[in-house]
Structure 1
Amino acid sequence: MNSARHPRIAIVGAGLGGLTCARVLQRHGRSVTVFEREASADARPQGGSLDMHADTGQAALRAAGLLDHFHALARPEGDEWRVLDFATAGVLAHQVPSPDADGRPEIDRGQLRGLLLESIAEGTVRWNRAVSAVTPLADGTCRLLFTDGTAEHFDLVVGADGAWSRVRPALSHAAPSYTGVTFMETGFDHCDTRHPDLARLVGNGSMLAKGAGRTLVAQRNSNGHIRAYIALREPEDWHVAAGVDLGDHQAVRTQLLRMFEGWDESLRNILRNGDSGFVNRSLFVLPAPHTWEHVTGVTLLGDAAHLMPPVGLGANLAMLDGSDLAHALVAEPSISDAVRAYESIMLPRSAEAATGSAQGLDHLVPAATP
């Protein structure tokens, strides 16, 4: 971007997409500030394992100069999939990654975020800085209002702040809606020694078993950890109707065992034997397509722009969004030109991906027959 001074750029959210954008900008000598509401990098667990696709997530890592570092941490063997019969636990399909294929190597989300954080200049992320609102101004800049009552002004504000983005309302009235599917998450530590039967079921990558309105997914993470997702096609308040307090993990376990009656006992043991409690994760999506009229000085990336079901695309697209936006900001003559160029690529791409992800969720958790 040719200007007398480099623009003031703020990224709201220190997730994978926002950090990728910051890293690529800094590689090109541009300054950027990332505002994150969490108090520190390790304020909460970062979630499960991600498969990085060659044309999206890995392409973004290449642009960030981090692809070799990624491969040093990644688990190519994690691209293995086993599909089991829910009633017998017999293997219905088994996909093993080919050694000579590009593949989709797995990496823990926390490891990937750590790699990105280590790659950007110290002080780039301002922790414990929660944004409450964004206001585009008549001069083409944006005002960031923080929850502590302070405000700062930038030439560009990038909303990389996820499903419940505080930046999105500056561009769009769209709000996430419930998909009809909830994931209950639990975890297993030191699986090869403490949970060998589960380790055998899952193999080196992921295991899937599904019935009508019910699905179990178990996924290898690093350090011998397996994370399990119990998918339910139910109303969002399913636990209220069942009289279950989500904070009472034994009551949740008992109810889930009722809901998975008729399943093989080795699969029901996933409900019985977790080393952690259960975390309720209702799945929300933005409308597809989600678009907006261009507004100078503000844009979105990742889940803030195109929240979709978690079927393997979200993190990859967020990182590609970040890389594409950074490259546009470097190449185009103005902020407005850069944002228009970026949105002209990102919006059609995300619309297609959101449609595919919705179909993927229907395939992952089939509706119960009437």
Structure 2
Amino acid sequence: MRIAIAGGGLGGLTLARILHRHGIATVVYEREATRSARAQGGTLDLHPESGQQALADAGLTGRFRSEARPEGEEHRILDPAARTLVHHRPDPGSFSGRPEIDRRALRDLLLDSLPRDTVAWQHRIVAATRIADRRFGLTFQDGRSADCDILVGADGARSAVRPLLTDAKLSYVATLVELSISDADRRHPDLAELVGPGNLWCIGVNQILAAQRLGDGSIKVGISVRAEDRAIDTYRSKRALLDMFDGWDPSLTALIEAGDSAPTPRRIEAMPIDTCWAHQPGITLIGDAAHLMPPVGEGANQAMLDAAELAAELAASPADPDSAIRKYEEAMFARIHPIAEMSARVQAMMLSPTAADDIVRFFTARPEPVPAE
């Protein structure tokens, strides 16, 4: 049973790790040249019932706790005048909630748990095809090719594997603009104090200015706006961003001014909430390839839980992988639908004209915060 996993993100690596624990070998095809080829983004809050459960199945709870930052769960929500609307403080040192961990640290943790030859680096998949009833072919950007008996698409929003199962289209739901502030405690102590050890959201009308502390002492700044507001190139200028936040308290807009480099905008997309597909032998999807959602705290957690549940089914039925994949898909579709609905509602609420009032009610009713990824 030759298993190929397309994509070496958190979902693909979690799947490879848990299968490895069960004595099932895999090959993970990853487009990046090395593990350090690019920055991995900000921090994640890992939920006990999903991301943390997957790490427990992977036998990595101890490593996770040595890398995670429970204090990063602290979450403040301000209005444009810098008045505090919500302030969530976690119990000091407690892992009972949703502790934060840097994406880089989590990915390294998973990579270090695998045999060195598990990940085939610099293998960007440009086409996936069914070449026989029980085999799949993969073509890579440099012209190389490979085949496998079981193919798992864990290759994200632009999945090359997804078209073999569904023609679901992505929709443009928001724009996210990112900046980074390095060595914040020394260079910008006022901003370091403003953001604190966790997440900060500043809620305006149809726009959010957010920041989060990373484990290396830097601050990741994110600006979220509605999809239809402006052309994406508009957001590459700090001056244009500052104009958007004209009238906001200077202590907040200082987060934009302090950015180390030009802002980086990107489109935030999502798949239809009801996306599913008819089962096909030997192939399936996990994570964003299966159910791309707005980044409101569920994406990585659900990708890792997908991986854990698929690995459990394959390990329980090694002689009947098709049955294992079918069981995984049925359970995953049922689990994901309400989560995708909730994520879409939260995304719309965050960028609405009444976002501040709506979010205060949301967090008052739900004491555990759902910080953006």
Q: So what's the TM-score if we normalise by structure 1?
A: 0.92
In structure 1, distance between residues paired with 2:69 and 2:89: 13
- Cα 1:70–1:308 change in 2 (3 A) is same
Residue 97 of structure 2 is aligned with which of 94, 99, 103?
103
Verify the 8 A CA contact 2:4 2:150 in the aligned structure 1.
yes
1:273 maps to a residue whose letter is A
Verify the 8 A CA contact 1:155 1:335 in the aligned structure 2.
no
- Give the structure 2 partner of residue 116 of structure 1: 110
2:11 maps to a residue whose letter is G
Superposition CA RMSD, Å:
1.6
Q: For residue 361 of structure 1, report the CA deviation from its aligned partner.
A: 0.8
Residue 186 of structure 1 is aligned with which of 163, 179, 183?
179
Residue 337 of structure 1 is aligned with which of 305, 313, 323?
323
- Give the structure 2 partner of residue 29 of structure 1: 23
SS of 1:122's equivalent in the other structure is coil
Q: 1:341-356 residue pairs with structure 2 within 5 A?
A: 341-356=327-342
Residue 261 of structure 1 is aligned with which of 246, 255, 261?
246
Which region of structure 1 is more displaced relative to structure 2, 346-355 or 280-289? Answer: 346-355
Q: Unpaired runs of 5+ in structure 2?
A: 356-373
2:276 maps to a residue whose letter is T
Q: 1:159-238 residue pairs with structure 2 within 5 A?
A: 159-179=153-173, 181-235=174-228, 238=231
SS of 2:142's equivalent in the other structure is coil
Verify the 8 A CA contact 2:31 2:121 in the aligned structure 1.
yes
In structure 1, distance between residues paired with 2:169 and 2:141: 21
- Give the structure 2 partner of residue 357 of structure 1: 343
SS of 2:91's equivalent in the other structure is coil
* 1:127 matches 2:121: yes
Residue 133 of structure 2 is aligned with which of 120, 136, 139?
139
In structure 2, distance between residues paired with 1:10 and 1:191: 42
SS of 1:322's equivalent in the other structure is helix
Q: For residue 101 of structure 1, report the CA deviation from its aligned partner.
A: 6.5
In structure 2, distance between residues paired with 1:254 and 1:176: 31
Q: For residue 106 of structure 1, report the CA deviation from its aligned partner.
A: 0.4
Verify the 8 A CA contact 2:6 2:30 in the aligned structure 1.
yes
- Give the structure 1 partner of residue 358 of structure 2: none
- Give the structure 1 partner of residue 263 of structure 2: 278
Per-residue displacement from partner, 1:223-282 (whole Å, max 9, x unpaired)? 211101011114275245xxx483xxxxx1111111111211111111211123211121
- Give the structure 2 partner of residue 51 of structure 1: 45
Q: For residue 150 of structure 1, report the CA deviation from its aligned partner.
A: 3.1
In structure 2, distance between residues paired with 1:23 and 1:107: 19
SS of 2:265's equivalent in the other structure is strand
- Give the structure 2 partner of residue 249 of structure 1: none
Verify the 8 A CA contact 2:181 2:219 in the aligned structure 1.
yes
SS of 1:318's equivalent in the other structure is helix
In structure 2, distance between residues paired with 1:310 and 1:245: 19
Q: Unpaired runs of 5+ in structure 1?
A: 1-6, 247-251
Q: For residue 164 of structure 1, report the CA deviation from its aligned partner.
A: 0.3
The alignment-based identity, stated in percent, is: 46
1:253 maps to a residue whose letter is K
- Give the structure 2 partner of residue 18 of structure 1: 12
Verify the 8 A CA contact 1:76 1:97 in the aligned structure 2.
yes
1:335 maps to a residue whose letter is P
- Give the structure 2 partner of residue 90 of structure 1: 83
Which region of structure 1 is more displaced relative to structure 2, 339-348 or 271-280? Answer: 271-280
